[in-house]
């Protein structure tokens, strides 16, 4: 077990590894039903979150709905 360094929402961040996208969401305390994930510019479907591995250098975007017009 060793940390991996990823770019999370534009900022470098060390997270516990090895991990999956679902593991990252658990680590951050985020409900996967309210978040959409992009890994290296590719959307990760909810059904694939558990199977999608994270590696050092990966770029992850986590987005959700906020107020807007």
Partner 1 sequence: MTSTLSALIGTDEPLTIGGRSFRSRLMVGTGKYRDHGVMSRAIGASGAEVVTVAVRRVDLDRTKEEGMLYHLSSDDYFLLANTAGCYTADEAVRYARLAREAGFNEFIKLEVIGDRETLLPDTEGLLAAARILAKEGFAVLAYTNDDLITALRLEDAGCAAVMPLASPIGSGLGLINPYGIRTIKRRLSVPVIVDAGVGTASDACLTMEQGVDGILMNTALAEASDPVAMATAMRLAVEAGRLALLAGRMPRREVAMPSSPTGGMLR
Which position among 9, 40, 51, 59 is part of the footprint of partner 1 (CB under 8 A)?
9
Q: Does 55 bind partner 1 (CB under 8 A)?
A: no
Which position among 18, 28, 53, 57 is part of the footprint of partner 1 (CB under 8 A)?
28
Q: Which is nearer to partner 1, 1 or 66 (CB)?
A: 66
Q: Does 40 bind partner 1 (CB under 8 A)?
A: no
Match 């929402």 to its residue by tokens: 9
Residues 45-67 as b or e (16 or more Cβ within 10 Å = b):
eeeebeebebeeebebeeeeeee
């Amino acid at each position: 077990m060793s940390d991996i360094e990823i770019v999370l929402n534009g900022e470098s961040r060390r997270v516990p590894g090895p991990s999956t996208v679902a593991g990252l969401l658990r680590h951050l305390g985020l409900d996967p039903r309210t978040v959409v994930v992009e890994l290296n510019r590719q959307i990760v479907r909810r059904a694939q979150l558990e199977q999608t591995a994270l590696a050092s250098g990966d770029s992850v975007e986590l987005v959700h709905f906020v107020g807007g017009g």
